[in-house]
Structure 1
Amino acid sequence: MNAIEFLDKAIELNRLGEFINALNPQTSGALETANEYLVCLDYLYKKGDEESLDKLHEITRSNSPLYVLNLTYRPAKLALEGKLAEAKAVFEELERAYQTHENALTYDLQVYVKKFLRQGRMIDLAFKAQDHQAFEFEITTSKFSDHDYFVLASCNDIYFKRFGEGFLSSLGGETPCHIHLLNPESDFEDRVEQLSKTYPNLRITTEVVEHNATIYACRRFQLAGALMDHYGLPVWISDIDVVLSDQVKNADMSKSDLALFKVTKTINPLEIMHLSLSYVNQTERAKRFMDILGRYLTAFLASSPAYDESWGIDQLGYLTAETLSGAGVSDLHELCQAELADFQQNQSSSFEEKYDLRMEG
């Protein structure tokens, strides 16, 4: 009998206490047990069995490891539903419970819970995002003419050297493209001059910042709204370590405020919005979305967070902006009846290579 079958039987017999007692996350298989428990919670949530979820929440108060795990699950779901105030309150309870029961958790479970505590701090910032100063950057590049959209990417120069030309080649010479280059090296002007001969619709802005891979990845989202106003066009925002297909040119995006590929098989707010490729239209709701997103990211990055404390902030920023702006974020799976691989392919399958290039400078 697997965990879900065991759970169903316990609910049928009104013996959820025995189900909890059978799970002992203080053994060597703690993380496996935790995952089984979270699968069961997800199962009940999808069934809409709020009564059993509430009972488990109360029963686990006497089982500190499972109670802490229960608190990781609940705010994640609340956040995904846009209930940020409720999620924030549960995260605060999680922080208190973790401080009380930390020693009862195995090391693996401590690492697991800390991941959710980080999300809590990010969600807390969402309440201040709308009041935070927007990111400001002077844009003087020449306009594009007679185009339906432009493509936007940002990266450090080391990353651009490795992936930039492959990315541009996939767009073709006429597709308008804006690349925001962080920490350019001394020879970048000569390289850009050569690239511009092949790609006349390439526009580049540069900026010198502290070395932070999260800034390199997030700057495109902070700049997107201002660049859309500058060019008067919708935008496809993309990673640069990919090649794009003609699906980008052919997709009918006229009815969407925003669109991206959503990851539906997760309860983690840091993972559900897949941002290697996203579309932003020239609607008022989309513009408000990008304004809130830009302010949120600017507020978070102002504290110069370390890489492992900040990677994924753009995904949670999208969730926050969707909640606060009222804009609809469409799923490209459904909108285009396509998969991410139909739109873009990685230039390198090596995570280690890309990680090293991000961290190098």
Structure 2
Amino acid sequence: MKKIIIMLITLFPMSLYAQRQEFVIEGSFVKKDMDGKVHYNYNERGINVADSTPVINGRFEFKGKVSGIQRAYFTFKPTRATDIKLAWRDSKSIYIEPGSFKIVAKDSISTARVVGSAINSAYESFMAPLEVIAKERKPLWDEYVKIKAADRKVLPRAAELKAKIDETTIKREELLKAYVRSHPKSYFSIEAITELMGPYVVVEKVDELWGTLDPELKESYNGKIINAVILGSKATDVGSRAPVFAQPDTSGKIVKLKDIKGKYVLVDFWASWCHPCRAENPNVLKAYNAYKTKNFTVVGISIDFEKDKGKWIKAIKDDGMPWTQLLSPANIDGGAMKAYGIHAIPSNFLVDPNGIIIAKNLHGPELQKKLEELFN
């Protein structure tokens, strides 16, 4: 089941922006005849920030203001390119921070070095052992995907490859855990914990690690996001009472969870732009039609922005979803999204008539199987 991990930009109001500080980036290519522009973009509190500058005599420069550390994607686009797709493939992830640093490239951004930046040096140290694991994993994975899906369950070689791939996953997780424990003040400990959480948060994997972090890091913007996700995940453990919510439906009427009394309710988080969600909607519709007369219903909660309300309503009609649909925009503080600790979509929670969560993140055949157990 594919899913989309989302940044919880709804968790804190925009007033929590840190004081914006100036940065200067001086870039250079060894090859002086590089003709084109260098672009960068990053997402800051849900707002896309982008800029570009021409390369002149092998040099380029960016100046601006930034609120704390931002992971940006730098790309060189040549003026003359025979393949428009190739024109955007020369890229590199580089962190922007207040102050100044240099980007030194030979003939491409992808192989450039970053000089004079503490955060980018820390990033290189963080990534070095992980890249060793990635190189070990790649040939295994490449061979595995070449084996036809129908043969993966029966061929001994496929089973052998899968076991080795799983070993690399465990190695990576152990490296991430070790990094957090030895770097309680590092920005990248937050990134390590984010990866370890997974799309559907396994609290047991990160709770102890979270406790080891420096208090100042916990109070950072990203730290507060992680904390909210952990708290939301704990609040929605199977056996917990489902968090209450009050969200508007397509007509603007406020609907609360307690308004739906005495039924089994699938609280289903999605968005009109989420392809895995849209692919799952027919499965939810099948479940709804099969059990709507047996004390079962669905409440959809979209995280579409308010400005995209038209797209949300169109998606409801296009996918033929007759159940209650509510909106909890991903650019508004609080709401159902925060209460349920949503970190990826599609996400869902099966709530019994007493308001207790009895299952979560049931997709495809798993949803049908669980409902069969309840009603047949």
TM-score, length-normalised on structure 2?
A: 0.29
In terms of Rg, which structure is larger?
A: 2
Structure with the higher strand share, 1 or 2: 2
TM-score, length-normalised on structure 1?
A: 0.30
Structure with the higher helix share, 1 or 2: 1
